[in-house]
Amino acid sequence: MVRPMLVLMLALVALMLSAWLASFFKAATPAPAFDAPLGQITLAQSQLRTAPSKAAPLTLGQLQRWLFEADSRDPQQILAFIEAKTSHLTHEGQHKVLALAQRYIAYKAALFELADGKYEAQFTAESLQRQLQQRHQLQHQFFTDEQVESLFGEQHQQDYAAIERLQLRQDSQLSDTERWRLVEAQIQQQPVATQQAFEPSIQIRNLSHQINRGGTISRDQLVSEFGEQTGERLAQTLDSQQRWQVQLTDAKQQLEAISGITNSADRQQAIDELINTFEPHQRRRAQALLGLLDGSVQ
């Protein structure tokens, strides 16, 4: 029996997309406070779109938001935008923010030139390590060691953890089960926010693994695992896939009988009638899986 795992996984990913994105951005927490030789730079919490309770340190995330909100490629326009955003600071504090922002803008431009058109042919842990090393070298050209650690330290930890997971997944000496077990163990060692970001992926992996083993999954199990709304939709998706599989298997058996019809016109009519038993949106896919698109049944 053909297992339409690809279609099922696409459906699962679509259903989990909103939760996945929300969790991902939770994990992408701002880098540590910038408190390098330029001094302690703080912004009002209201500038960071949070509760106006106390001053908060300038972060990589804030610099990135400013560049996005400035909506310009002109460095002077971007700096003017940031200057307006930091008008509440003292003259000295604003000067330090703008000095750091100017370095960051120059770094982003150099990073773009470094990556422009230079992509590895293969997506491997080794190729990613080379790219990260180039990026780290570039960071040290624009920032001091203390600034690199303050601005990019957490990002570096996340990058190296991702490479470690990729190395595990690409280890051909391990079975698929062993690889996934080690990846899950590595995720459990990460910060809580990172673990939460991977929860949807782990849930989908466990679900597909159970399906691949031929196990049955009840609606209650899905609701317990994914919540009421998502679990219900997944149950409907699985039920639809099961009905499709039964219909496709039956069609294959009928097609074998049809192939014995000697008259070509009668044979084609029987094939058309068989395909029309599928829903309109399923017919093209059914023709492909039954080998009818290439005219194999003549």
Residue 206 lies in a domain: no
Look up residue 70 and give its amino acid.
A
- The tokens describing 15, both together, are 């259903």
Rounded mean pLDDT, 129-139: 91
Share of residues in the chain with pLDDT > 90 (%): 25
Mean pLDDT, the chain, rounded, equals: 76
Residues 35 and 166 in one domain: yes
CA dist 217 and 196 (Å) reads: 24
Alpha helices in 36-120 (DSSP H): 60-70, 75-85, 91-115
Structure-block tokens of residue 193: 């926010």
Classify burial at 16, counting beta carbons within 10 Å of its beta carbon; exposed 0-12, middle 13-18, buried 19 or more: buried
Angle at 175 between CA 158 and CA 216, to 5 degrees: 95
Percent pLDDT > 70 in the chain is 73
Phi (first) and psi of residue 16, to 5 degrees? -95, 0
If asked whether residues 240 and 160 sit together in one domain, one would say no
Same domain, 77 and 135: yes
Residue range(s) defining the domain that contains residue 261:
219-289
Q: Which of 59, 57, 55, 83 is nearest to 70 (CA)?
A: 83
Give me the amino acid identity at 25: F
Q: Is the pLDDT of residue 102 over 90?
A: yes
Residues 151 and 252 in one domain: no
Residue 135: inside a domain, yes or no?
Answer: yes
Q: State mean pLDDT over 164-181.
A: 87
Residue 87 lies in a domain: yes
Residues 133 and 258 in one domain: no
- Shared domain for 43 and 130, answered yes or no, is yes
Residues 44 and 164 in one domain: yes
Same domain, 267 and 159: no
Taking residue 274's Cβ as centre, other Cβ atoms within 10 Å add up to 19
Q: Indicate whether 175 belongs to any domain.
A: no
